[in-house]
Amino acid sequence: MSRAAWALARSQHAVVTYEQLRELGFTPSAIRHRIRSGRLFVLWPGVYAVGHPAVSRFGRWKAATLACGEGSALAGDSGAALVHLRQREGPQIEIAVPEHVVRSLDGIRARRCRGLAEHVTEVRGIPVCSTPLLLVQLSARLGRDPAETLINRADKLDLVDPVTLRGSIEALKGRPGVAQLRSVLDRATFQLSDSKLERLFRPLARRARLPAYVMGETINGFEVDFWFPSLHYVVETDGLRYHRTALTQSRDLRRDHAHDRAGTWHSRFSHAQIAFEPDYVVEQLMAKRLRIEAFSGSVEG
């Protein structure tokens, strides 16, 4: 029994529960004896550290989920720390529990979560809320910029990309944080059809005092979005602000390099910038126009 208990503890970051020990054959008196003799240390009622009271961070996270019962999972800042979305967590371990569970334990912040079972995964043997649910939980109490930073970090860690995340949060509708996250993601994954893109871009080009343009022209071997022949200037747009595959990135780099080799002026904006940051786009377009005109004037001179 002792060997089995040690093996179980090793698989759970050096923690076990009363029920697990009973299933292994330990009697209540045997468990009490091991507590008195310093072989088991109470972390929370019915949850023990094995061999030493100072368990690792992973051990405390695992113990907290065990203390909150079956179906519970690391959540909020604690879950984000486990998957490396955030470095720090608060003074209490955050745990999501099924709706029917009520828990009040020192050092644990337990919150009921409907439909939790559908949104739990496991990392290093510790149940944790899925990345979309973690981001929803964090977005509920963070501002727009921190939420945007977390989405970008989740993308870089290959936890979830913005496009997939945008679809995933539809299953989480009605929860605090979803509206905030959706507003950020709509900018991140925003994509316009050609006609809508032109309709939004046309007034920006006028404001920047750019000359006439054509769409879909083939320049330097690539079909471009906007071509200003009198300026020898190309404007390219990207449908996704955050996530592009390696193949797409390589293709866009080859396109930009082709323009550079041919001496073609070019700029690149996202669809989201054109739709949501028009003043910034106008400022950049105007700066590029003035630079092209100054360069052309110096060459002619």
51, 70 Cβ separation under 8 angstroms: no
Provide mean pLDDT across the span 64-88.
94
What is the reported pLDDT for 90? 86
Provide mean pLDDT across the span 193-200.
89
What is the reported pLDDT for 274? 93
Provide mean pLDDT across the span 265-287.
94
Percent of the chain whose predicted confidence (pLDDT) is above 90: 65
Lowest mean pLDDT among 23-32, 86-95, 138-147, 277-286: 138-147
What is the reported pLDDT for 159? 93
How far is residue 286's CA from residue 91's CA, in Å, rounded to a whole number?
Answer: 50
Provide mean pLDDT across the span 264-278.
92
What is the reported pLDDT for 240? 66
Q: Specify the number of domains making up the chain.
A: 2
Of 55, 77, 93, which closes a domain? Answer: 55
What is the reported pLDDT for 189? 78
Is the pLDDT confidence value at 17 over 70?
yes
Q: Examine residue 147 and state whether it is found in any structural domain, yes or no.
A: no
Q: Say how many C-beta atoms besides its own lie within 10 A of residue 188's C-beta.
A: 22
The domain in which residue 44 lies consists of: 1-55
On average, the pLDDT of the chain sits at 90
Provide mean pLDDT across the span 262-280.
93
Q: What is the DSSP string of the chain?
A: -HHHHHHHHHHTTSEEEHHHHHHTT--HHHHHHHHHTTSEEEEETTEEEES-S---HHHHHHHHHHHT-TT-EE-HHHHHHHTTS-S---SSEEEEE-TT-----TTEEEEE-TTGGGGEEEETTEEEE-HHHHHHHHHTTS-HHHHHHHHHHHHHTTS--HHHHHHHGGGGTTSTTHHHHHHHHHHHS----HHHHHHHHHHHHHHTT----EES-EETTEE-SEEETTTTEEEEEES-SS---HHHHHHHHHHHHHHHHHT-EEEEEEHHHHHH-HHHHHHHHHHHHHHHHHHHHHHH-
Q: Examine residue 127 and state whether it is found in any structural domain, yes or no.
A: no
Of 35, 55, 75, which closes a domain? Answer: 55
Percent of the chain whose predicted confidence (pLDDT) is above 70: 96
Of 55, 72, 90, which closes a domain? Answer: 55
204-263 pLDDT, tens digit per residue, is: 999 999 999 999 999 999 999 999 999 999 999 887 655 556 666 778 889 999 999 999
Is the pLDDT confidence value at 191 over 80?
no
Of 186, 282, 296, nearest to 235 by C-alpha is 282
Lowest mean pLDDT among 72-86, 114-128, 185-199, 224-238: 185-199
Is the pLDDT confidence value at 1 over 80?
no
Residues, the chain = 301
Provide mean pLDDT across the span 264-271.
93
Q: Examine residue 166 and state whether it is found in any structural domain, yes or no.
A: no
83-110 pLDDT, tens digit per residue, is: 999 988 889 999 999 988 887 899 999 9
What is the reported pLDDT for 132? 95
What is the reported pLDDT for 227? 96
Whether pTM exceeds 0.75: no
Q: Examine residue 254 and state whether it is found in any structural domain, yes or no.
A: yes
Q: Examine residue 27 and state whether it is found in any structural domain, yes or no.
A: yes
Angle at 129 between CA 20 and CA 174, to 5 degrees: 130
Q: Examine residue 139 and state whether it is found in any structural domain, yes or no.
A: no
Q: Examine residue 185 and state whether it is found in any structural domain, yes or no.
A: no
Q: Examine residue 280 and state whether it is found in any structural domain, yes or no.
A: yes
pLDDT band (50, 70, 90) for residue 171: confident
* CATH, residue 255: 3.40.960.10
What is the reported pLDDT for 246? 63
What is the reported pLDDT for 74? 97
